[in-house]
């Protein structure tokens, strides 16, 4: 991911979702505790730029790897970019925060989301 101060949060979200189609990220004002979710009312407007959300001047390249855990990704965004992010996984026809499985890799999360959607589709669209 190319990350610079003028980039909008929605563009980061789209790039992440393109890499992991059964995952998505949301940005929040304030941190969430380990194992806890982030409240909807603290979700940031995706039209904000990275600078507006973090106050940091950035121009970096970040390689999001399938082997990164959710926790590693969230820590990187927090510590290096000044952005509070929460990963969501597809669960049937819903999106759920991955709070209980932050130790899973992004690849594992994405695979679980894909199989959950397939199971949902088989059950409700047959």
pLDDT at 64: 96
Of all helices (H) and strands (E), which one includes residue 106? helix 106-124
Rounded Cα–Cα distance for residues 74 and 68 (Å):
10
pLDDT at 116: 78
The residue range of the domain holding 14 is 2-124
pLDDT at 126: 58
pLDDT at 38: 77
Contact (CB, 8 A) for 50 and 81: yes
Q: Residues in the chain with pLDDT < 50?
A: none
């Amino acid at each position: 991911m190319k990350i610079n101060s003028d980039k909008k949060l929605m563009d980061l979200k789209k790039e992440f979702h393109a890499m992991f189609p059964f995952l998505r990220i949301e940005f929040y004002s304030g941190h969430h505790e380990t194992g806890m979710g982030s409240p909807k009312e603290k979700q940031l407007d995706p039209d904000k730029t990275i600078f507006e959300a973090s106050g940091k001047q950035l121009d970096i390249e970040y390689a999001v790897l399938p082997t990164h855990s959710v926790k590693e990704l969230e820590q990187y965004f927090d510590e290096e970019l000044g952005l509070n992010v929460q990963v969501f996984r597809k669960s049937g026809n819903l999106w759920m925060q991955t709070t209980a499985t932050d130790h899973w890799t992004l690849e594992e999360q994405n695979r679980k989301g894909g199989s959950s959607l397939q199971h949902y589709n088989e059950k409700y669209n047959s």
